[in-house]
Amino acid sequence: MGLFDTIEFPNPIKCKECGTEITSTQTKMFENILNHYNVGDILPKYVVTGILKETVYCSHKKSRKKGSWDAEIYIVVWNNIFIDVKEEYEQAEKRLRTFSHADLFLLYRELYNKRNEFRYKFNALKSWTENYIEYENMSEEEKKELLKEKHSLINYHMRRFAKKMIETEYPLDVFLEELENREGYDISFIF
pLDDT tens-digit series, residues 69-112: 788 999 999 999 999 999 999 999 999 999 999 998 988 888 88
Q: What is the pLDDT of residues 1-32, one digit of tens each?
A: 578 899 999 999 988 878 888 999 999 888 88
Asked if pLDDT for residue 165 goes beyond 70, the answer is: yes
Same domain (yes/no): 89, 128: no
Domain count, the chain: 2
The model's pTM is 0.65
Question: Are 90 and 145 in the same domain?
Answer: no
Segment 111-145, tens digit of pLDDT: 888 888 889 889 988 988 888 888 888 888 888 88
The crossing angle, in degrees rounded to 10, of helices 101-136 and 156-167 is 80
pLDDT-derived band at 161, boundaries 50, 70, 90: confident
Taking all residues of the chain, what is their mean pLDDT, rounded to a whole number? 84
10 Å CB burial of residue 15 (0-12, 13-18, 19+) is buried
CA separation for the pair 66, 41 (Å, rounded): 36
158 vs 125, residue with greater confidence: 125
- Domain check: are 72 and 135 in the same one? no
Q: Verify that 13 and 90 share a domain, yes or no.
A: yes
The better pLDDT of the pair 61, 178 is held by: 178
Residue type at position 96: L
| Interacting residues of 162 by C-beta distance below 8 A, sequence separation 6+ | 135, 143, 146, 147
Q: Are 103 and 79 in contact (CB under 8 A)?
A: no
Q: What is the pLDDT of residues 38-60, one digit of tens each?
A: 998 988 877 689 999 999 988 77
Give Cα separations from 161 to 132, 171, 175, 183, 188 (angstroms): 8, 10, 10, 21, 31
Residues 84 and 144 reside in one and the same domain = no
